[in-house]
């Protein structure tokens, strides 16, 4: 494995790794911004002996590329953890705390456990090992980028399933994010059971829809 073939994202991680027996977990989430559905967190311990070409922040990849890379990550990784925190919990404890909860659960699923965690922009309490919150980590760290891909694909698949249950909202197109189409439908027919009631556009839609029905 020649150094010139190692991407900057891998070089970033290797600066934290004293040996190949030192396991680094990358952690990221998908779904903080949507008006509906869960937040999903993933943790990934990559095998750095086998570089995955073109791994990157999930937001910079097409859906087809993310699906392809997910398969590579699943084959490569020493361990993967995935946690899903639903819309009800998000409304109860807020999205930041729900994201942290999901990240901790995802980390707890790793076997073997990591020696260190690189986390996308979030600080977590009560971990038994070192961790570093990395600003824009999904664009800087291979492990965090891998976690972002796992979380994004997992959540997108869940929202495709929700589309079958609530087709009027077109979750298959926007995955719950506040697009103009989503907001228009929300104003027209009100929220469905998986909408986050504490998010302002949803609250506004509930009030507007209730007013029209009076």
Element (H, E) at 209: helix 200-213
φ/ψ of 89, rounded to 5, equals -65, -40
Instruction: Give the model's pLDDT for residue 33.
Output: 97
Instruction: Give the model's pLDDT for residue 20.
Output: 77
Q: What is the pLDDT of residues 11-24, one digit of tens each?
A: 999 999 888 789 99
Nearest to 130 by CA among 144, 110, 115: 115
Instruction: Give the model's pLDDT for residue 35.
Output: 98
Q: Which of the four pLDDT bands, split at 50, 70 and 90, describes residue 210?
A: low
- Weakest mean pLDDT among 39-43, 154-158, 209-213: 209-213
Q: What is the pLDDT of residues 146-186, one digit of tens each?
A: 999 999 999 999 999 999 999 999 999 999 999 999 999 99
**Starting from the edge strand earliest in sequence, which strands make up the sheet with 116-120, in order?**
79-85, 39-45, 24-30, 116-120, 130-134
- Provide the token pair at 28: 């990221």
CA–CA distance from 143 to each of 120, 146, 172, 193, 208 (Å)? 10, 5, 28, 34, 44
Q: What is the pLDDT of residues 52-106, one digit of tens each?
A: 989 999 999 999 999 999 999 999 999 999 999 999 999 999 999 999 999 999 9
Cα end-to-end span (Å), the chain? 69
Q: Please report the domains of the chain, with CATH numbers, ordered by start residue.
A: 3-163 (3.30.420.10)
Residue 129 CA to residue 43 CA, distance in Å, equals 14
What does the pLDDT average to over 103-120? Answer: 97
Residues pairing with 118 in the sheet: 26, 132
DSSP calls for 111-168: SSPPSEEEEES---SS-SSEEEEETTGGGT-HHHHHHHHHHHHHHHHHHHHHHHHSGG
Kindly report the pTM of this predicted structure.
Answer: 0.94
């Amino acid at each position: 494995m020649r150094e010139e073939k190692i991407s900057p994202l891998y070089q970033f991680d290797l600066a934290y790794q004293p040996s190949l027996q030192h396991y680094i977990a990358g952690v990221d989430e998908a779904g903080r911004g949507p008006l509906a559905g869960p937040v999903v967190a993933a943790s990934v311990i990559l095998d750095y002996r086998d570089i995955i070409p073109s791994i990157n922040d999930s937001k910079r990849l097409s859906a087809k590329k993310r699906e392809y890379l997910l398969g590579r990550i699943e084959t490569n990784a020493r361990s993967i953890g995935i946690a899903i925190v639903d819309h009800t919990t998000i409304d109860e404890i807020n999205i930041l705390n729900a994201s942290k909860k999901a990240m901790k659960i995802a980390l707890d699923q790793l076997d073997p456990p990591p020696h260190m965690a690189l986390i996308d922009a979030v600080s977590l309490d009560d971990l038994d090992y070192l961790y570093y919150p990395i600003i824009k980590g999904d664009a800087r760290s291979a492990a965090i980028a891998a976690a972002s891909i796992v979380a994004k694909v997992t959540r997108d698949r869940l929202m495709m399933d929700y589309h079958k249950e609530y087709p009027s909202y077109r979750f298959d197109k926007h995955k719950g994010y506040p697009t103009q189409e989503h907001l228009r439908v929300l104003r027209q027919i009100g929220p469905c059971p998986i909408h986050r009631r504490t998010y302002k556009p949803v609250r506004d839609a509930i009030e507007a829809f209730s007013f029209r029905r009076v």
